[in-house]
Amino acid sequence: MGYQGHFRVWRGSDEGGGLEDFTVEVNEGEVVLDVIHRLQATQTPDLAVRWNCKAGKCGSCSAEINGKPRLLCMTRMSVFAEDETVTVTPMRTFPVIRDLVTDVSYNYQKAREIPAFKPPAGVAPGEYRMQQVDVERSQEFRKCIECFLCNNTCHVIRDHEENKESFAGPRFLMRVAELEMHPLDQADRVQEAQSSHGLGLCNITKCCTEVCPEHIKITDNALIPMKERVADRRYDPIVWLGNKLFRN
């Protein structure tokens, strides 16, 4: 049975905006994106929203629903009471372009800053061999749909524009970890993670893990192991001696 749902949607641009109230029809089995589309079709044809697959796989429809970072297409209306007001706002960490659409280019900038996979010299593509256990470890990280909800949530850059320069965000620290754990990768990423990608700014609050729609254990399986490698490197007496000699 359908009902009239109460919605509050942020509308505006980079110059400012605010919340607007709407009453919209909601039908059984619908997700928030269905209702946003009905709003576009019936009341606000110019409402901007980014989406693509409507199946939780493209990572385009990231926004905040009642203050929580979520995918619009994977949030069922049945989780809200019929008389509840559902508030939909754009991701807070990235600049608004219009309405629910944000400029996520920070994330692409960070992706470009990570050096690519570096295979051993003399091994041609097709000749790479690795243990199944190593394949499985990185498989989890490769489920990422690049929705950037983790980066949006992390307190290091949420409301801290000044940290964006020095912090890659959980999504890309996870990418560094994935490459670092790759048995064939020849690049040394431990020091880079700390000095260039801001691993030290992460204080393992795990908020990124909590919002990941792919349920990737970002903190436990990527960030903490990277931190352990940094610590090992720092406190390993041979490495310490090497650093000393090198510096002198």
* Binding interface with ligand SF4 (CB under 6 A): 144-150, 171, 174, 211-214, 216, 218
Quote the least distance from Cβ 102 to ligand F3S, whole Å: 18
**How distant, in Å, are the alpha carbons of 51, 84, 97, 207 from that of 28?**
21, 16, 32, 31
**How distant, in Å, are the alpha carbons of 58, 96, 97, 170, 221 from that of 214?**
12, 25, 26, 14, 14
Task: Please state the φ and ψ torsions of residue 5, each to the nearest 5 degrees.
Answer: -95, 150
Who's near 179: CB < 8 A, 6+ residues apart?
114, 117, 185, 187, 189
- Pick the piece of the chain touching ligand F3S (CB under 6 A) from 68-76, 95-103, 111-119, 152-160: 152-160
208 binds ligand F3S (CB under 6 A): yes
57 binds ligand FES (CB under 6 A): yes
Q: What is the DSSP letter of 25?
A: E
* 52 contact choice in ligand SF4, ligand F3S, ligand FES, none (CB below 5 to 8 Å, kind-dependent): ligand FES
* 53 contact choice in ligand SF4, ligand FES, ligand F3S, none (CB below 5 to 8 Å, kind-dependent): ligand FES
Q: Which is nearer to ligand F3S, 6 or 206 (CB)?
A: 206
CB 23 within 8 A of CB 4: yes
* 131 contact choice in ligand FES, ligand SF4, ligand F3S, none (CB below 5 to 8 Å, kind-dependent): none
71 binds ligand F3S (CB under 6 A): no
**Binds ligand FES by CB under 6 A, chosen from 5, 22, 38, 60:** 60
205 binds ligand F3S (CB under 6 A): yes
Q: Which is nearer to ligand FES, 170 or 213 (CB)?
A: 213
Tell me which residue of 15, 21, 52, 65 sits closest to 39, measured CA to CA.
Answer: 21
**Binds ligand FES by CB under 6 A, chosen from 17, 56, 183, 225:** 56
**String of DSSP letters for 128-182:** ----HHHHHHHHHHTT-----HHHHH-TTTTT-GGGTTT---HHHHHHHHHHHT-
Quote the least distance from Cβ 137 to ligand F3S, whole Å: 19
**How distant, in Å, are the alpha carbons of 162, 233, 240 from that of 236?**
33, 5, 6
Task: Please state the φ and ψ torsions of residue 106, each to the nearest 5 degrees.
Answer: -50, -45
Contacts with ligand FES, 68-97, as mask; x by CB under 6 A: ---x-x------------------------
Q: Is 90 helix (H, G, I), strand (E, B) or coil?
A: coil
Residues binding ligand FES (CB under 6 A): 51-54, 56-61, 71, 73
For ligand F3S, the binding residues (CB under 6 A) are: 153-154, 156, 170, 202-208, 219, 223
